Amino acid sequence: MLHEALSLTKQCLSSRQRDREEILAGKCLLENMSYRLDSSAENDRLIGFKETLRILKRMNSMGDCAHTVKSFTKSNRAVLSGAFSNENLILEYVSKSTGTTPDYFISRDLLGGKFSNKNKGLFSWLMFAFVMSLQCIFSSQRANRALVIREVAELAWLIDFLKKNNISHLYNFFPYEKDANLISLSCRSQGIRTTLIPSSGPLKLHNHTMIADEVVFVTPYHYEEYNDGLKDTIICEKIIKWIPEKAYTYIDKYASKNFEEKQYVLGFYSHGSWLRSAQGHAADGLNLFESEERVLRDLKKFLEEDPRFSVLVFTHPRERVSTMIAETERFYSDRLPKNQYTLANSKIKTAEAFEMVDIAVAAYSSIVYERLFCGFKMIIGTEGIEGFPLRNSSLEKISYQGYESMKSMLLNYSELSKEEFFEQLGLTEYRYTSYPQWS
């Protein structure tokens, strides 16, 4: 399948006239951000040659790229995702959402082996990789061009696996990666249907362009984005509504249950942006470091002005690594009043502790939608985040910019019950009760 993968990729990257879907797929390959290389790749003129060597090593040192799912029925379906550590969670999500259990769970990072047409295929890929590597020396898009070298090889391995195992439908959990649409187009050429499953966060940054047979939306805000300007770049036969990806692991705790109101107890959900920045992770395009600093600065001022309130900080898993705990504690002690904040127990998952605070505050994060899904109060600090939320959208009512706006929301919403919060702000569609499984 390497010849087909190379041909399609070259067509998408070509400057010659081609169909709209290929234009969009090519634009994503060159312009969309990716987390698969760190920020140093942008300045590394040899990054293309390094990617070529990495793929050559994968040809000779790969393990099993897929796990067979134990099932009594054969569905001819497969899941494409990351590490096998998330396998059971994702398979349960697909099974409960579709009523059908996939036959295979494919780990993208373990795809590898020899190309199907052996030496001829290897030579074709090496020639392509060499040309792309030369372009990387001079291109301002060198990181994205270097990744195309990897993506072509992975696409050939993936399609080869799908065809050999008679897969007719692929559930792709990497819609945010820049080659997701290339995979969809390649699958279509082989008669394989695709479903793209984005996270619960806004589509605009990573998922503004999606080409597939089906696209999953998991929040009302996705529909608002689609209707506001994404209809031209989200191309599919059908949009389907699923619950947020991890919700099956915690919703039973909250469904149809009442919890004591924790008035004046605030929560801060960290994205760990300060640590990501210090460790040189690729920029996410959201200015999250600055946004989270602003949220913490405003929280500190609010707590100092109103001693009735306290804040429980839910750290990101990166901040809870044993080697980082002391630095994490120092980071928050420098930013919040000593006697009015506490770090949440590191063993407690944030999504399993929504009831511990009355109102949670965060910058741009998927936990926002998970908390709303479970029926708890939330506000979002959006200062410095361009284009979010949409004007006159449902999330605009709980988004703030500046201290006075945050203060007003915290004071007003702390006097509302959870039910009053959702009803008065028109957010009932975000709660689990609005989804088919619980309606």
Look at the alpha carbons of 165, 166, 170, 174 in this order and tell me if their dihedral is positive or negative.
positive
Contacts of 9 (CB under 8 A, 6+ apart): 29, 148, 151, 152, 155, 182
d(CA 107, CA 122): 22
**Alpha helix positions (H), 19-141:** 20-31, 47-60, 87-98, 118-138
Give tens-digit pLDDT for 392-405: 999 999 999 999 99
Q: Are 24 and 201 in contact (CB under 8 A)?
A: no
Q: How confident is the model at residue 280 (pLDDT cuts 50, 70, 90)?
A: low
Q: Are 226 and 239 in contact (CB under 8 A)?
A: yes
**pLDDT score at 322:** 86
**pLDDT score at 62:** 66
Same structural domain, 229 and 291: no
Same structural domain, 235 and 256: no
Secondary structure class of 217 (helix, strand, coil):
strand
Same structural domain, 163 and 121: yes
Decide if 439 is inside a domain: no
Decide if 150 is inside a domain: yes
**pLDDT score at 35:** 85
Secondary structure class of 131 (helix, strand, coil):
helix
Identify the domain boundary among 205, 222, 242.
242
Decide if 98 is inside a domain: yes
Give tens-digit pLDDT for 62-106: 668 999 997 778 999 999 998 898 999 999 999 999 999 999 999
Domain count for the chain: 2
Q: Which residues of 156-180 are buried (b: 16+ CB within 10 A; e: fewer)?
A: bbbbbbbeeeebebbbbbbbbbbbb
Q: What does the block give as tokens for 271?
A: 């994205």
Same structural domain, 157 and 278: no
Same structural domain, 351 and 394: yes
Section 8-25 average pLDDT: 89
Please give the helix or strand (H or E) that residue 38 lies within, else none: none
* DSSP symbol at 281: P
CA distances from 208 to 202, 223, 233, 258 (A): 9, 12, 7, 37
Nearest to 395 by CA among 436, 351, 356, 364: 364
Give the domain range for residue 274: 251-434
**pLDDT score at 71:** 75
Which residues are registered as beta bridge partners of 67?
105
**pLDDT score at 137:** 97
Range 14-18 contact pairs with CB under 8 angstroms and sequence separation of 24 or more = none
Section 405-428 average pLDDT: 97
Section 200-228 average pLDDT: 95
d(CA 35, CA 387): 21
Decide if 259 is inside a domain: yes
Same structural domain, 231 and 310: no
* Torsion angle of the four alpha carbons 100, 106, 107, 108, in this order, in degrees rounded to the nearest 10: -110
Identify the domain boundary among 220, 242, 264.
242
Same structural domain, 156 and 268: no
d(CA 5, CA 154): 9
Q: Are 173 and 80 in contact (CB under 8 A)?
A: yes
Q: What does the block give as tokens for 347?
A: 């063993």
Please give the helix or strand (H or E) that residue 305 lies within, else none: helix 288-305
Q: What does the block give as tokens for 310?
A: 């306290």
Secondary structure class of 311 (helix, strand, coil):
strand
Secondary structure class of 362 (helix, strand, coil):
strand
Identify the domain boundary among 192, 207, 242.
242
Same structural domain, 205 and 305: no
Is 378 a residue whose pLDDT tops 60?
yes
Contacts of 327 (CB under 8 A, 6+ apart): none
Decide if 180 is inside a domain: yes
Q: Are 132 and 145 in contact (CB under 8 A)?
A: yes
Q: What does the block give as tokens for 172?
A: 């792709």
Query: Which amino acid makes up residue 256?
Result: S
**pLDDT score at 77:** 97
Contacts of 63 (CB under 8 A, 6+ apart): 110
Same structural domain, 75 and 206: yes
Q: What does the block give as tokens for 31?
A: 């312009």
d(CA 238, CA 179): 21
Decide if 196 is inside a domain: yes
Is 274 a residue whose pLDDT tops 90?
no
Look at the alpha carbons of 370, 375, 381, 384 in this order and tell me if their dihedral is positive or negative.
positive
CATH code: domain of residue 406:
3.40.50.2000
Average pLDDT in the chain: 92
- Left, alpha or beta for 324 (phi > 0: left; psi -120 to 50: alpha)? alpha
Report the Cα–Cα distance between both ends of the chain, in Å, rounded.
45
Same structural domain, 198 and 269: no
Decide if 71 is inside a domain: yes
Secondary structure class of 222 (helix, strand, coil):
helix
**pLDDT score at 303:** 97
* Torsion angle of the four alpha carbons 351, 354, 359, 363, in this order, in degrees rounded to the nearest 10: -10
Query: Which amino acid makes up residue 384?
Result: G
Give tens-digit pLDDT for 282-322: 455 556 778 889 999 999 999 999 999 999 999 988 898 88
Same structural domain, 229 and 262: no
